Amino acid sequence: MIAIDLGSNTIRFIEYDGRHWGKSFEKIVKTAELLLDTQQIGDKALERILTAIREAKTKIDFTAHDIVGYTTAAMRIALNANQILDAIETETGIRFTIIDAQKEADLTLLAVQNRLDKLGIAPSSFVLADIGGGSTELIRFTNGAVQSVSLNMGIVTLSESASSSDQLDKKIQLFTDKVRKSLNNSFIKVLILTAGTPTTIAAYLNGMDYDSYDPEKINGYRLRLEDCYRVYSELLNMDERSRARYVGVGREKLIVAGILMVTSIYKALDAHEAIIIDDGLREGIALEYFEGNSHIF
C-alpha cells in the first residue's frame, strides 16, 4: 500500500507491505499558506499539491497498490476543504480523508512507538511533540496511559501571523505558555520530537542537507537544546539560497519560527535533550492499514 500524509506544509508518501518499508517521497507544498487571512486553501497551494502528487507518481508505482491518504490541520480549518479535496481527486484519482487531531495524535504515536521499539528504546513515560505546519500535537505517554493535546499553532500559521520580529517573539512566548499549561505535571524524563523542523536540525548537525537527508541516521538521534540554538544562529546568518540547501525550498523563512517553537518545547517542559524520530503520521497510516487488514497474512 501507499500511505500519504497531506500536511499543512509538506506532503509525504511511503510504500509499505506490512513488513518492509519501500520507496518514499516528500515535497513542501505549503498547504496552509495565507490560511489565517483567507480561511481558504489557495489556488497556488492546490497546484503545488497536484504537482507533488504527479512527481510522486514518477517515483512510486501507484497502480500496484492500495492508497490511503489522510490530511490534517489546514483542511480541518479551511472553509473550502471539500472543494479542494474534490479537485485533487478529479486530477489525481486520490481521495484524501480529513482526520481530527485525536486521530492524528494516535497514528503519530503508533508510528513513533514502532520506531522506538526497533531502536530498542522503551521509556515508560515520555512526551511526544509533533510540530506541524498548522498545528502542534503534544502527546504524554505514562505507563500506558495517553493524554493528547492539539494546539492550533504550527510553523506556517505562527510564522504568517507575525509580521515583525517583536510579534514573532510574542507569538513564541504564547506558544511556550500554551505548551507549559497543556500537559498536567509537565516534568518529564524523556522528550521525543518528530516532524520536519527537529529532523532538519538533526540532519544539519550530522552534515546532511535537504537532498542528502537519510532518516536512518536521524532516528534515535539525541538532540541537545544548546545545539538547537547553534543551528538557529548559523541558519539565520545564511542567505536564503544557502539556507534552502539545508531546509528545503519553501522553508527558508519558516525554519526560523520552527526552531524557536522547538526550543520553546524544551523550555516549557524543562528538558535539555530530546530523541529525534523521523517516523510520523505517514508511517502511522501504513501501520494502521495493516493492523486493520491482518488477514492479508
DSSP-assigned letters across all residues of 100-162:
-HHHHHHHHHHHHHHHHHHHT---SEEEEEEE-SS-EEEEEEETTEEEEEEES--HHHHHHT-
**Cβ–Cβ contacts within 10 Å for residue 25, how many?**
19
- Model confidence at 252, pLDDT cuts 50, 70, 90, reads low
Segment 192-214 mean pLDDT: 88
pLDDT above 50 for 294 = no
Q: How does strand 125-131 pair with strand 136-142?
A: antiparallel
**What pLDDT shows up at residue 124?**
83
4 burial class (0-12, 13-18, 19+ CB within 10 angstroms)?
A: buried
Domains 2-101 and 120-281 share a fold: yes
pLDDT tier at 273, thresholds 50, 70, 90 = very high
Query: Is it true that domain 120-281 has CATH number 3.30.420.10?
Result: no
Assign 240 to helix, strand or coil. Answer: helix
- Which pLDDT value is given to residue 187? 57
pLDDT at 12 over 50: yes
Confidence of residue 125 (pLDDT cuts 50, 70, 90): confident
Class assignment of domain 2-101? alpha beta
- pLDDT per position as a tens digit, 170-202: 888 999 889 888 876 555 679 999 988 899 999
- pLDDT given at position 253: 72
| Res 112 pLDDT > 70 | yes
Q: Which of 114, 109, 120 is nearest to 147 (CA)?
A: 109
pLDDT (0 to 100) of residue 293: 54
Q: Per-residue pLDDT tens for 126-174?
A: 999 999 888 899 999 888 888 889 888 888 888 877 777 888 888 889 9
Where in the chain are the domains?
Answer: 2-101, 120-281
Predicted confidence (pLDDT) per residue in 32-80, tens digit: 888 888 999 999 999 999 999 999 999 999 987 799 999 998 999 999 9
Q: For a pLDDT cut of 70, what percent of the chain falls above it?
A: 95
The predicted model gives 90-96 an average pLDDT of: 96
- Confidence class for position 295, pLDDT limits 50, 70, 90: very low
Closest CA to 244 of 200, 277, 276: 200
**Per-residue pLDDT, 265:** 92
- CB 141, CB 126: distance < 8 Å: yes
Mean of pLDDT values over 72-101: 95
- Average confidence score pLDDT of the chain: 88
More confident residue, 23 or 212: 23
Residue 296 pLDDT greater than 70, yes or no: no
